Structure 1
């Protein structure tokens, strides 16, 4: 009887190992997504700064007449800095939530009591929809 229990336990460990690897792959996918969102936020913020600097140096018309000095224009207020900071923060929050989810699922796998949780998925979906809505409104007003 002892060898059967040992074999069953060993098969269970092998099976759980595969599930743990799947959990780890999912965690790493969430981390890649959060890094991508943070990088996008950084690019949005820096591109907004670049546009402000170009508009400052070229003037509002886009070119300067020969021999005339343009009066310096104040920087145009924009939302790219706010959006960039928000995206970087969202990416960092997503990484933290992904780690919490990873550890929770790891414990549930070991206890054989896995229950899916839609909280992180819902937060991501709502965040992406919010950012997409903001970008659409921003692009419509920039025409």
Structure 2
């Protein structure tokens, strides 16, 4: 992977993974905010309910983008771990926790998306 036989390579990759996981959470939160703002606008002005449909779909797209980002980050980190040499691996360090976290975030994003769709229709 790198020219250095240094375990800090793996730890730096894990920090990058967790940064992407935070980014995916932020995208999902932003999408939920957009989606819920359409509901608030409908409550404030019932005649404008047809104008809030684009906000619903835009919010869902952000939530789905966050889920896809989380899956992509987990996949990228797995490829980095597979490319690391034994000298770059930290002995007895469970590197799969970050992958598990990102996949769990992606699962929750998918459940949120499907729940909002079911609730909306």
Q: TM-score range by the shorter chain?
A: 0.5 to 0.7
Matches within 5 A, 1:1-143: 12=5, 15=6, 17-56=7-46, 73=47, 75-78=49-52, 79-110=54-85
> What runs of 5+ residues in structure 1 fail to find an aligned partner?
1-10, 57-72, 113-143
Q: Select the structure that is richer in helix.
A: 2
Q: Distance in 1 between matches of 2:48 and 2:12?
A: 53
Unpaired segments ≥5 residues, structure 2: 88-121
Q: Per-residue CA shift, 1:112-137, capped at 9, x if unaligned? A: 9xxxxxxxxxxxxxxxxxxxxxxxxx
Instruction: Say which structure, 1 or 2, has more relative contact order (CA 8 Å, 6+ apart).
Output: 2
Secondary structure of the 2:51 match is: coil
- Separation in 2, partners of 1:84, 1:74: 17
Q: Normalized against structure 1, the TM-score is what?
A: 0.54
Aligned Cα root-mean-square deviation (Å): 2.0
Cα distance in 2 between the residues matched to 1:26 and 1:41: 23
Shift of 1:26: 0.3
Match of 2:84, SS?
A: helix
Flag the 1:36–1:92 CA change in 2: closer, same or farther, 3 A: same
Shift, 1:85, TM fit: 0.4
Indicate the larger mover: 41-50 or 75-84.
75-84
